[in-house]
Amino acid sequence: MEYPRIKSTCGVVLAGGKSRRMGVDKPFVRLGGQKLIERVTGVLSSVFSEVMIVVDDPEKADHYKILPFPVIHDLVQNKGPLGGIDAALDAAQGKPIFVTAADMPFLNAQVIRAMVDISVEKYDLVVPHLSGRLHPLHAYYSYDSRSVIAEHLEANRLALHLLKNDLRCYFFDETQFRKHDPDLLSIININTPEALLEAQEGFNREKQ
């Protein structure tokens, strides 16, 4: 079944990591013949009518001109993913955002839609809570969350999990997640060459 794209929320890809463990720029690593950034934006653009890419350094913006999405950069440097989320909310012009990382090649559109649907109940943060761990780089952030995020940036409290203490949160649990993604593939990220090889082998098995 084909669903209409969501206009009330922006899809956001955070592409500002240093890629130290991978050794090369992760968003442009290929898996199944596609660059990771193409896979991620492909899923998000099937869910949302508006998608943007956030980089930590404005000099990186040119790398993404091959893609038909606006590229913005952190307003405050060296603040990690929190700075990227702040920049995305600033650019979203009043809309909430759904955030993913650029190295998550197995995103599931139905999981994302289910999480955004929960946000209608007026939560500021809808975040997966799986095996005792939060996944704030696969999460919904209301526009109103920006004031709290600004406070955390000012205080240099940069760990994303700390936001749960100051925002109206909904924890999207494992039962809800597995309903759409039984193997929890959505939250897999590709940080190392070994992880890329394992993902490629799994991709090849699925095609057989």
Domains and CATH numbers, the chain: 10-207 (3.90.550.10)
Window from 42-51, 53-62, 88-97 with minimum mean pLDDT = 53-62
pTM value is 0.94
DSSP state for residue 114 in the 8-state scheme: H
11: confidence class by pLDDT, cuts 50, 70, 90: very high
Between CA 24 and CA 102 the distance in angstroms is 13
Q: Does 207 or 30 have the greater pLDDT score?
A: 30
Beta strands in 102-188 (DSSP E): 125-130, 133-134, 138-141, 169-173
Between CA 83 and CA 98 the distance in angstroms is 15
Residue 141 has pLDDT above 90, yes or no: yes
Window from 10-14, 27-31, 79-83, 152-156 with minimum mean pLDDT = 27-31
Summary mean pLDDT of the chain: 91
- Average pLDDT estimate for 99-116: 96
CA dihedral 149, 74, 42, 92 (to 10 degrees): 60
